[in-house]
């Protein structure tokens, strides 16, 4: 029997990267590798990288330096950099990170076996070619690190929005959508394996279009129709493309979760224009009003960037005002991090002082904490359906899951198991978590 090599893989960044890691696991499993959670046992180390912010790249570079000692201990060890950093920094990685043997962009994972053969001859192996049609639709992802309850399915790749601050269109290429049958079949297969929640992933799911011109609302309905016991989520929606048709589809299917992530980035029209976001504050508010009309129980989350080029105090206050108006349930909040070769880096000076960015970010975070707590307090006394995912991180006597609004709910353990639905009455909360007790349906 052939001895299998051992692959250790670390993943950074967005959920698309974690989905890509599952594809890489599948490809490597088919080529005589098995994954290991122990880095010291590995014959092959991959690091799947993110370029969206400077901090993410710094973390990866620091981790690569730590890998040097494993290379010294095991001279035949092969180290590969995958993903967006590989695409963006190929030459620099070869010059600066001498221990890196393989560099592979997001569209070239099928080429990994050949690249490893090249690396074994002592040469550097690189493929960062972007593809106009690669979707990995025929590869069944190997899901090793999940809870067996919730899974992610990539429905499309790439992005063509060209927000001025963002590297994604350059690292992941043009938009292309998977054939809907492959997506529905994958979701049905996961349901039959015991998974009870599917999240459909894309840089902008609203841009999904199959070869017959059918869009995302139709695909979402097809996945929801698999079973009423299957919860369906999606991420991420671009505000410029969020249609009433999508909201009507969500309203028609109770198992499509009442939660929408709608990144706003800024509440200022001037900044939105500099960001090339292609919508105005008024348009965004109109979409929020439409969500509340069709889906009154829908939770709203967002992304916000503090301190973008030339942002004034007035621009910042407009963002805070918009946050108060919408009343977000939660948010992902960051300081602006200029990325090389983006439109913003070429055209807009990164001229907001670091201490001003930090102060504004703190004000955004402090406000969101209040909004999250206010939202969660409104749930006290209500009963909601929770899909159990695992034990609570803080206590083995408690279980944790999420409700349709994507809020984490923690409650005392009974005889229930992950993958089961329970009715939980909410009795207390923090800004991040709801607490409750199981009640009879």
DSSP 127: E
Q: Identify any residues that bridge with 333 across adjacent strands, giving them in sequence order.
A: 304
pTM (2 d.p.) = 0.88
Residues 389 and 368 in one domain: no
Backbone phi, psi, residue 82, to 5° = -115, 165
Higher pLDDT, 372 or 94: 372
Identify the pLDDT of residue 3.
59
Indicate whether 265 pLDDT > 70.
yes
Domain boundary among 221, 238, 257: 257
Burial of 282 (0-12, 13-18, 19+ CB in 10 A): exposed
Domain termination site, one of 96, 127, 158: 127
Which candidate, 248, 240, 193, 249, places its Cα nearest to that of 219? 249
**353 and 398 within one domain:** no
The total domain count for the chain is 4
Q: What is the pLDDT averaged over residues 143-148?
A: 74
Top mean-pLDDT range of 75-79, 209-213, 293-297, 338-342: 293-297
Range of the domain at 406: 383-439
- What pLDDT, on the 0 to 100 scale, is given for residue 2? 54
Q: Do 393 and 332 share a structural domain?
A: no
Of 377, 396, 425, the last residue of a domain is 377
CATH number of the domain where residue 433 is located: 2.40.50.140
How far CA 286 is from CA of 100, 216, 240, 359, 399, in Å, comes to: 49, 20, 11, 30, 38
* pLDDT confidence tier of residue 351, bands split at 50, 70 and 90: very high
In a domain, 111, yes or no: yes
Q: In what order do the strands lie in the sheet with 78-83?
A: 33-35, 5-11, 44-49, 78-83, 102-104, 125-127
Q: 308 and 392: one domain? A: no
| 300 strand-pairing partners | 260
Q: Are residues 48 and 106 in the same domain?
A: yes
- pLDDT of residue 144 exceeding 70, the answer is no
pLDDT in tens, 161-214: 999 999 988 888 889 999 999 999 999 999 999 999 999 999 999 999 998 989
More confident residue, 128 or 286: 286
Six token digits for residue 212: 């017959």
The pLDDT of 288-315, averaged and rounded, is 98
* 250 and 318 in a common domain: no
Looking at the chain, the whole-number percentage of residues with pLDDT higher than 90 is 76
**Secondary structure class of 130 (helix, strand, coil):** coil
pLDDT at 91: 78
Could you tell me if 309 and 370 lie in one domain? yes
Strand ranges in 165-245 using DSSP code E only, listed in sequence order = 176-177, 197-201, 231-235
What band does 1 get if pLDDT is binned at 50, 70 and 90? very low
């Amino acid at each position: 029997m052939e001895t299998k090599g051992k692959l250790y893989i670390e993943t950074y960044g967005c959920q698309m990267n974690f989905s890509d890691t599952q594809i890489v696991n599948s490809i490597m499993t088919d080529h005589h590798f098995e994954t290991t959670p122990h880095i010291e046992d590995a014959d092959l180390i991959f690091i799947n990288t993110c370029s969206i912010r400077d901090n993410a790249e710094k973390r990866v570079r620091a981790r690569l330096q730590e890998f040097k000692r494993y290379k010294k201990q095991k001279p035949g060890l092969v180290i590969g950099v995958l993903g967006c950093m590989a695409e963006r920094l190929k030459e620099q990685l070869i010059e600066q990170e001498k221990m890196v043997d393989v560099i592979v962009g997001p569209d070239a994972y099928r080429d990994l076996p050949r690249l490893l053969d090249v690396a074994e001859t002592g040469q550097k192996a690189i493929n960062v070619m972007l593809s106009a049609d690669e979707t990995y639709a025929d590869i069944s992802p190997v899901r090793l690190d999940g809870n067996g309850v919730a899974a992610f399915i990539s429905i499309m790749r790439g992005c063509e929005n060209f927000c001025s601050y963002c590297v994604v269109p350059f690292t992941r290429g043009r938009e292309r959508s998977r054939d809907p049958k492959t997506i529905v079949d994958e979701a049905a297969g996961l349901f039959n394996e015991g998974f009870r929640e599917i999240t459909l992933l894309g840089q902008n799911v609203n841009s999904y279009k199959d070869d017959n011109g059918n869009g995302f609302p139709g695909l979402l309905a097809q996945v929801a129709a698999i079973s009423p016991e299957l919860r369906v989520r999606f991420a991420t929606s671009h505000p410029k493309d969020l249609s009433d048709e999508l909201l009507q589809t969500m309203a028609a299917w109770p198992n499509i979760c009442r939660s929408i992530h709608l990144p706003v980035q800024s509440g200022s029209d001037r900044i939105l224009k500099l960001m090339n976001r292609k919508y105005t504050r008024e348009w965004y508010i109109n979409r929020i009003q439409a969500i509340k009309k069709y889906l009154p129980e829908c939770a709203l989350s967002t992304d916000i960037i503090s301190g973008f080029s030339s942002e004034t105090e007035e621009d910042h206050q407009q963002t805070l005002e918009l946050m108060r108006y919408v009343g977000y349930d939660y948010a992902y909040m960051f300081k602006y991090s200029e990325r090389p070769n983006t439109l913003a880096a070429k055209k807009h000076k990164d001229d907001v002082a670091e201490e001003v960015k930090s102060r504004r970010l703190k004000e955004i975070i402090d406000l969101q904490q209040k909004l999250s707590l206010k939202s969660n307090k409104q749930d006290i006394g209500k009963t909601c359906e929770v899909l159990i995912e695992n034990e609570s991180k803080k206590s083995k006597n408690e279980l944790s899951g999420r409700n349709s609004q994507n809020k984490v709910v923690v409650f005392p353990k009974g005889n229930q198991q992950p993958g089961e639905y329970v009715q939980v009455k909410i009795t207390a909360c923090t800004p991040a978590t709801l607490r409750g007790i199981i009640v009879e349906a």
